[in-house]
Structure 1
Amino acid sequence: MWRPIQAFNKRAKGDAYEKVARHYLQKHGLKFIAQNVNFKGGEIDLIMEDGAQLVFIEVRFRQNKQFGGAAASVAHKKQQRIILAAQLYLQKHFGNNPPSCRFDVVAIDGEENHSQLNWLKNAFA
């Protein structure tokens, strides 16, 4: 069956775009903390620090903007899963003393060789 190969290719492509986002954000002064942090009910693509602020980052890629593009694909339900995962991460690592946090989206639209990256700070709360 072709499903496992397609799933692998999709995961590999996702990993590649997360790496692009990570390097872009590091060039803009953010410090890498973790990648692909999973909790029951949600996943966080990247966790980075921007000064004293902890940043939870969702990385999205879309080849075209037919349905609104990469940024629009981070719908309310996806946001809620990311928020839940962030709450669990904060509880695990900081207990009752969490740092200031925000949620960013790195939206990558276009063909692989001609893509446009948009960094949306405070994309949702």
Structure 2
Amino acid sequence: MNRAETGRRGEAAAARWYQKQGCRLLAHNFHTRMGELDVVVQEPDGTIVICEVKTRAEGSLASPAEAVDRPKQRRLIRAAQYYLQQNGLSDAPVRFDVAEVFPLDSGRWMVHIIRGAFLT
């Protein structure tokens, strides 16, 4: 499995994780000129969650969340603002999560969600 395929499968695993928690999937790979939003879900209480998914192979030295540095956070915030505005959700509460996703030998995925990983 190449890097792009691993990333797509990791994003799908994160989206499934949120759906199992009762969230409604609003967008997957939403593209804007400001950047891409990997997963956008709405929690049962109405909170919109923008989740940046970082998938890494086992044995990777760096934590996946370390790749979401301040410049990346700013791009995500701008892309999220655009998404929320375009979809009439500007007044909804918003949270930014980071999902660290690792493939397991069994063909399954381990998903670790860092809730509120950064603030706007």
**TM-score, normalization by structure 2:** 0.84
**How far, CA to CA, are the matches of 1:113 and 1:74 in structure 2?**
26
Aligned match of 2:9? 16
Cα shift at 1:98: 2.3
Among residues 98, 108, 113, which one is paired with 2:105 in the alignment? 113
- Ranges in structure 1 where 5+ consecutive residues have no aligned partner: 1-5
Cα shift at 1:112: 4.1
**TM-score, normalization by structure 1:** 0.81
* 1:37-71 deviation per Cα after TM superposition (whole angstroms, max 9, x unaligned): 0111211001100121111111101223423x111
Among residues 49, 55, 66, which one is paired with 2:49 in the alignment? 55
RMSD: 2.0
Structure with the greater relative contact order (CA < 8 A, sep ≥ 6): 1 or 2? Answer: 2
Specify the code of the residue in structure 1 equivalent to 2:50.
F
Aligned match of 1:122? 116
What is the number of equivalent residue pairs in this alignment? 115
> Whose Rg is larger?
1
- Ranges in structure 2 where 5+ consecutive residues have no aligned partner: none
CA contact (8 A) 2:34 2:79 kept: yes
